[in-house]
Structure 1
Amino acid sequence: MSENVVICVDASEQAADAFAWYVNHIHRAGNNIFLLHAPEIESLAMSSAGSMSFSPGVWQNLYQKENAASKQLEHDYSQRLKEAGLPGKWVTVNHGGKPAEAIVKAAQEVEATLLVMGTRGMGTVRRTIFGSVSDYVLHHAHCPVAVYRH
């Protein structure tokens, strides 16, 4: 029976490690892999820094750079899948500054049976103030969540 597995990816070492851990320890033939990316530019745009008066040209430049980085990330992870001999689908979610909620929703939409993600290990103060994406996902996802930590 095939499973739908969502692996959250970004340009971080933690995401790369979580992906490798899944491939090397969890993957079963027939699993459907969804590589899920929530671009960081949306978090910036919705934050207090994003509320500053940047000219439209500055935002356009930031979005173009993020778009190029996302395409490169998609290419890099497509190569990793190819090298591992695994099929997969790339999913980019627009999250309006709420990446954790978007991850949970996207996992539900693809009927994920497992969600895999890395953790950045924020300090207690930062996690208390800003919250943790992995913590939110752990408590709100409809399926099991594997959080890979170094």
Structure 2
Amino acid sequence: MGRVDVIAVDGSPQAHYAFNWYLDNLYREGDTVVIVHVAEYNIHIGLLLTDEYMHILRNKHIPAHLLVLQGDKPGEEIRKAAVKENASLIILGTRGLGKMKRTLIGSVSEYVLHHSTCPVTVVRHPE
């Protein structure tokens, strides 16, 4: 039996890169992928946004399912989803915010790193 790996996506190039990086570097046959998107306002937009990821996983015959959640604290929602799914690993991209911006607006990846109960891989997009 494989792992359950949560991949958090938000429509950004960084999330897309992290998704592809996971498939190329960490995915192992038998793993199940859970795509998690946290929609602040409109869940329907989240469903459209995640369609591409699910299509890729289906074409590669990778067991997967989707969680589109609503909330204004994406880091907390991702953490809770990982607990609910009994995740072995969380994958997410990072925008590489500077120290000042990160302090002012917070960082989803930083929150997940500090509050998750499972390992977290933060993938930085090469600029």
Distance 1:120 1:40 in 2: 18
Distance 1:18 1:29 in 2: 18
Q: 1:139 aligns with which of 114, 121, 124?
A: 114
Structure 2 length as normaliser, TM-score?
Answer: 0.91
Match of 1:30 in 2: 30
Distance 2:79 2:47 in 1: 23
Distance 1:92 1:71 in 2: 7
Match of 1:121 in 2: 96
Aligned amino acid, residue 77 of structure 1: Y
SS of 1:38's partner is: strand
Distance 2:114 2:5 in 1: 18
Of Structure 1 and Structure 2, the greater strand share is in 2
Structure 1 length as normaliser, TM-score?
Answer: 0.78
Give me the CA root mean square deviation: 1.3
Q: 1:80 aligns with which of 41, 56, 61?
A: 56
Gaps of 5+ in 1: 42-62
Contact 2:7 2:34 in 1 (8 A): yes
Aligned length: 125
Runs of 4+ aligned structure 1 residues displaced above 4 Å come to: none
Question: 1:88-103 alignment to 2 at 5 Å?
Answer: 88-95=64-71, 97-103=72-78
Distance 2:117 2:29 in 1: 23
Gaps of 5+ in 2: none
SS of 1:93's partner is: strand
Distance 1:104 1:78 in 2: 21
Match of 2:46 in 1: 70
Of Structure 1 and Structure 2, the greater helix share is in 1
